Amino acid sequence: MPLASYGVLKCQPIKGMHAADTSHYEVHVVDDDSDYRIAINVKSQQSPPELLYYIDENYQNNILAQLEDLPLGFTALQSTPESIALDYLRKNLFDYHKMQTAHHIIGADNELAELIEKYIDLAIRTSNSTIYAFGQKWGPETGKRDQYFGFKPGNGIHDIHMNQGNTGRFEKDNGPYQDGGLFIHFPVKNQLVAIFLAFQSQSFDLDKTK
């Protein structure tokens, strides 16, 4: 079954943090009117706990022109080949065979969180940088503050990873053209950093991802 509210959040970063007691790296971001939290998995709830990742610091793809045309804020996307929805297996986004396994996942010593933090910190320090987060939106949670950054109402996006090939209790989330991902654009250098994530427990077999 497809994700309930799939799309892309175009925003500017304010603050990042890795809460050692969680499996996510959290990012406080804003558009012109609202605050959001991007929850990025850095540890799996299923075994093995280490994630797969692929990071390209100079990503070349025609998706950038389409992303720049989007308004700030969340844009809902159709899970179809014609939209800019991500699909690790069906679109030529990157060679998933080149994904690496993250290590050192205990507490604050999380390799993947440290890698993501490096790029988020650079985006915070760089004028006019823009983040594009693909995943599933939640909120706004009327009357409720965000549990990490305290803004109100709670609002954000998660599932910033491949969303197909799941087994067990996450199998219900499977669907084509609804994968997550993170793009960070540094316009001064016209540099696009792409971050793609997947769980080792997920299958990359097309026949098992429908």
Contact call for residues 151 and 202 (beta carbons, < 8 A) = no
Tell me the helix, strand and coil percentages in the chain, rounded to 5: 15, 35, 50
Look at 47-61, 74-88, 92-106 and tell me which has the smallest mean pLDDT. 92-106
Q: What is the pLDDT of residues 157-195, one digit of tens each?
A: 999 999 999 887 777 888 999 999 999 999 999 999 999
Check residue 22 and report its DSSP letter.
Answer: S
Task: Tell me which H or E stretch contains 121.
Answer: helix 111-125
Contact call for residues 39 and 158 (beta carbons, < 8 A) = yes
Q: What is the pLDDT of residues 32-59, one digit of tens each?
A: 999 999 999 999 888 888 999 999 999 9
Task: Quote the pTM value.
Answer: 0.95
Mean local confidence (pLDDT), 18-28: 87
Report the C-alpha gap between 36 and 115 in whole angstroms: 21
pLDDT at 170: 79
Look at 15-29, 114-128, 137-151 and tell me which has the smallest mean pLDDT. 15-29
